[in-house]
Homo-oligomer: A and B are copies of this chain.
Amino acid sequence: MSAPPVLEKVSSNKVFEGELTKYKFKSEALGGLDANFNLFLPLIPNSNKVPILTYLAGLTCTEDTGAQKGGFLGVAASQNIAILFPDTSPRGADVPGEDDDWDFGTGAGFYLDATKPEFAKNYNMATHITEELPKVIEAAGLPIDFNRQSIFGHSMGGHGALTLYLASKTKQYRSASAFAPISNPTKCPWGEKAFNGYLQGGTTEGLEKYDATALISKASDPVHILIDYGTADQFYKQGQLLPENFLKAARETGHDEFQVRVRSHTAYDHSYYFISTFASDHIHFHANFLKA
């Protein structure tokens, strides 16, 4: 990648004992399009650097959704952890059909790097999240310690968190957690559509690179994973999430309940009401590893 682009400050809000700032920049990973993100920074004593937790939102969401509705910021402030909220796809790529459906294209980047020619220029959310954003934030001189990163997300973003965590050869993230994640995308309609749409090799390529259940089966080192889902989640009931498949694969590969915890919560659904209920749990889970 060439010299990091300049961050432009879009807005900023004081919140709890910290500040949420929205930035934009010309994203090389997204083919030169403008990319927005929100960054929450706790009030930092003595210009120390803080660890960073990346939150990946779900289908149709933006960089604002988790910041506004997640209920993460108060706990993050008290734990002295920064939170990065990226967008969920490139915006304005003008690929034919990208705005036809809510579960594919704009707002539905699936946190992968596309290999189909029509999407490969812009739809590289995996590189955007794991490489580009840390680089531009660090280059801007913001007080973040990128040696201490963890990642979490919701639904499609839970899929993103689990897969980017498990696929990282450099062990970029210390821990991963997810609310109602798409846990076995090659076996559900959302994932099949995304992989067949973005990847030249379709679900075969998806199974190799971006399926959390397949990846946990290949993970030989210890992992730190927390998953929560609700039994009244309509998408769980439709078979889009399949957390049991992930859990089964984890146990079969020797990851015990200290490494992979999957919790089912009676009557909670897929909404941010569910997420906000367990927000504090997730921040504290990551704090264990980020502050170790």
CB-defined contacts of A268 to chain B, threshold 8 Å? 14
| Interchain CB contact (< 8 A) of A74 among B20, B230, B274, B277 | B277
Q: Return A230 CB to nearest CB of chain B, in Å.
A: 7
Chain B residue at minimal CB-CB distance from A231: B14
Q: Is the CB of A14 within 8 A of B74?
A: no
CB-defined contacts of A68 to chain B, threshold 8 Å? 68-69, 272-273
**Taking the complex as formed, is A1 at the interface, i.e. its CB lies under 8 A from any CB of chain B?**
no
| Interchain CB contact (< 8 A) of A13 among B14, B16, B271 | B271
Which residues between 251 and 270 of chain A lie within 8 Å of chain B, taking CB atoms? 267-269
Q: Is the CB of A74 within 8 A of B73?
A: no
Q: Mark A201-243, 1 if CB is under 8 A from B, else 0.
A: 0000000000000000000000000000010100000000000
In Å, the complex CA distance between A272 and B13 comes to: 10
**Taking the complex as formed, is A134 at the interface, i.e. its CB lies under 8 A from any CB of chain B?**
no
Q: Is the CB of B14 within 8 A of A276?
A: no
Which residues between 31 and 82 of chain A lie within 8 Å of chain B, taking CB atoms? 67-69, 71, 73-74
Number of interface residues of A (CB under 8 A): 22
Give the number of times this chain occurs in the complex, counting copies.
2
Dominant secondary structure at the A interface: mixed
Query: Given A74-B277, A277-B74: A14 and B269 within 8 A (CB)?
Result: yes
In addition to A14-B274, A74-B277, 20 A-B residue pairs with Cβ atoms within 8 Å of each other are A13-B271, A13-B274, A14-B230, A14-B267, A14-B269, A14-B277, A15-B273, A15-B274, A15-B276, A15-B277, A16-B276, A16-B277, A20-B273, A67-B273, A68-B68, A68-B69, A68-B272, A69-B69, A71-B71, A73-B273
Query: Given A69-B68, A272-B68: A232 and B277 within 8 A (CB)?
Result: no
| 19 A-B residue pairings within 8 Å (CB atoms) | A13-B269, A13-B271, A13-B274, A14-B232, A14-B267, A14-B268, A14-B269, A14-B273, A14-B277, A15-B277, A16-B276, A20-B273, A68-B68, A68-B69, A68-B273, A71-B71, A71-B276, A73-B273, A74-B277
